[in-house]
Every structure is written in structure tokens, then in C-alpha cells.
Amino acid sequence: MDDPILLRYSRQILLPQVGYEGQERLGQSHALIIGLGGLGSPVALYLAAAGVGRLTLVDFDRVDLSNLQRQIIHRTDRIGRPKVTSAEESIAGINPLVQVTCIDQALTGDALARAMADVDVVLDCCDNFATRFAVNRACVATGTPLVSAAVIRLEGQLSVFEPRVADSPCYHCLYGEGEETAETCSRNGILASLPGVMGTLQATEALKLLLGLPTVRGRLLLLDALAMEWRSIRVKKDPGCTVCGGG
């Protein structure tokens, strides 16, 4: 690292849990971010700011005026543009050292698996169950760690799934695919700052995972932002899970 790079990351390098070697490890890491909305916005910005070397951004949507209340990576003058290119521009403004790949389409099947070929962590920042289940199946199949968060109204949740760890549950262990609901932000509303809270925590868990630090694997964190109360629920691997178990 040259002097400007050391200065950029100096406050993080000071941490004994990071140091020079940890910062280099982040610089050699590759994160796949699925969804550049309320959660994906702080995730992408903080992973870039922290020095994660490669980010692959996936979103097929365009920036809409209704997004700007919470999707802080986008700007008013980018309305109508692809979210991935809007996000890429914001990332370049924060850290031009980060290599960004944009995928302006939904990923399914083999394309999703291929996108995970050299990825160190996947961040599920999407807003629908079908994509969440597909991402989970691909992560289990490829052994790629998954950091998942969700927000609605004044409530949030967060968990980490590590398929390479024998006793780690997967997303399907937690939510069977028959439990899908129709709750969305467009129907139920959401407080502007809540995706920022959960997305920032999502980025924190991803950074800890990339640095080899303990994560919240095996726990589901639930936030009631109205009461400002957290709950932590233990989640065990389901031996009958049809995705990661023997079922």
C-alpha cells in the first residue's frame, strides 16, 4: 500500500482486529450485492468505503422518485437511470480504488451460480421472497457465505448463513418457501432511516466475515425500531431442510 491508500484506511487499520494484513485481505475480497435499494445502498457505500476490492452489483430496476426517501446511494438527477450505474457512480465518488461490475438484470439459475464463482460473500438486499430463496439455494450449492437483512414498516431483521460451517442453518431452515407473504414497502410503508440501520449492520457482518471475525451466524436479530428494542433468536440447522439438510 502506498501512503494515500494507508491514509484512506488508517482509522480502520488501527483496529487490532484489522491491521495492515486485514486491510489487504479486504482489498483482495469480492462481494456480490443483490439489490441496490434501501438495504443495498448503505451496504454498497460502506463496503466500498471500507476498501473491499471488488463489488458486483445486481439490480434490474431503474431509479424512481419514490426510492429517494430511503435509497441514499441514488440522486434526484439520476431518476430513470439503471440503479446499478447510479450506484457505481456514487461508489466511484467515495472510493475510486474499488473495482465495480454492474449486472443490470435479474439473475436466476445458472447465471446466478456463475455470478458466485469467485465471490467471497453474498449480500441479499432484495425485497422479495422468490429471489431470497433462489439466492440461498445458490449460496448453499456454491458454499458461499450469505448475509441477509430485511425491513418493513418500523421492523428489521438480520442473519448470517455460512454453508461451509457444518452446523450453520440456511435461509430455508428459517423460512420455508411455503411461508411467503405479500408484505412490501409499497404496500406497508417504511421509515426512511430503517434500511440504513439494517444495511449498515449487514455491511458490518460482511466485513467481519471477510476479516475472519465472529458473526451472528446461528442467530436471527430482530429490531423493533418503534420501541427501539432488539431480540436475538437462536436458529438451528434443520436436518430435514430440502436445501442444506438431508431432507
Segment 211-240, tens digit of pLDDT = 999 999 999 999 999 999 999 999 999 999
What is the DSSP code (8-state) at residue 153?
Answer: B
What is the C-alpha separation between 225 and 64, in angstroms, rounded? 26
Residue 189 has what pLDDT? 86
Residue 31 lies in domain: 3-234
What is the C-alpha separation between 220 and 160, in angstroms, rounded? 8
Residue 184 pLDDT grade (very low, low, confident, very high; cuts 50, 70, 90) = low
- Do residues 205 and 215 lie in contact, with contact meaning Cβ atoms separated by under 8 Å? yes
**246 lies in a domain?**
no
Strand 54-58, strand 30-34: pairing: parallel
CA 39 to chain centre: 7
**242 lies in a domain?**
no
| Number of compact structural domains in the chain | 1
Question: What backbone torsions phi and psi does residue 188 show, to the nearest 5 degrees?
Answer: -110, -15
Residue 111 β-bridge partners: none
**240 lies in a domain?**
no
What is the C-alpha separation between 104 and 126, in angstroms, rounded? 14
Active-site choice (173, 185, 241, 244): 185
Residue 185 pLDDT grade (very low, low, confident, very high; cuts 50, 70, 90) = low
What is the C-alpha separation between 37 and 127, in angstroms, rounded? 9
- Cell numbers given for 39: 438495504
**241 lies in a domain?**
no
CATH of the domain at 99: 3.40.50.720
Cα 35 to Cα 45, 58, 131, distances in angstroms: 13, 6, 10
Alpha helices in 95-184 (DSSP H): 109-115, 129-142, 171-174
170 is catalytic: no
Residue 3 has what pLDDT? 87
Residue 246 has what pLDDT? 56
Residue 183 pLDDT grade (very low, low, confident, very high; cuts 50, 70, 90) = low
Segment 43-64, tens digit of pLDDT = 999 999 999 999 999 999 999 9
Mean pLDDT of 59-84: 97
